[in-house]
Structure 1
């Protein structure tokens, strides 16, 4: 499978997952909420694959883990596309039911997500040859290292700060924390 074909397949899967999730809701607002959750979950899985690819390849060398490393750019771009779908669903939700969106939220609660989207934009743009050349290899490496760590912290915090609302948030939050620890441990051994 070509790399862009992989990207296309992953985006189709993300879109289908979001559509199927939204179809289960009883009304439009619920449908948007389900789509938002579905794209958050697909984004998390895709991000986790990119975040852990090199660590897994070093710790558990196999054809699968080497493939993750080879394809991480396209998986990362799929993550960015999943986040675009997530943002679209959020914007529609905010316009459809602003009172539901703002319950328990303040403009300050949107800061981590805004920072996350800025990082996703920077990582995506610099995933292409010309922008990567413009910033240079050393700056590219610094940006991508900082960017994935910022996103990892945002994912972990997003899940763990919601755990008091529903225990199901604890599992992905802990998965992200373990992934961060695994990546740090692998770096210290390298």
Structure 2
């Protein structure tokens, strides 16, 4: 996996900020994990054939399922768990359902089991997930069901997409008060 320079700096800033202040990142209403992944696929395959896009959608769904299952055990910091991030995320999602009842959630019909985490957590959690993905694959029974070369290339392209869009996704990282 290739970690581009701007993204590497974002990761270091996340780690330093978290360890210094122990804050919880704000939850996202637009740039959450599933939407970022969908934007990546749309950008990557806007000129490609449908077969490649379908394979990428399948990989993305598997990644969202893995993210949903691993976010609180492999992605969040321990102090975030101690500060009740799961409950705060659920509360945020419930409030969004009330305030914005007509939102379309990409991948919703494909993700099993149905969990909300990829619709609440933002780009920093996606980045943490992608960086920790090799460890997650090695230490768990999770397996993406596609060609490994395709998968590695897909992850590297996603990292590059995040690096290319660092100003969009990481320019103003806010914390819960």
Q: Higher RCO, 1 or 2 (CA under 8 Å, sep at least 6)?
A: 2
**TM-score exceeds 0.5:** no
Please indicate the TM-score interval, normalised by the length of the shorter structure.
Answer: 0.3 to 0.5
Which has the larger share of helix? 1
**TM-score (normalised: structure 2):** 0.34
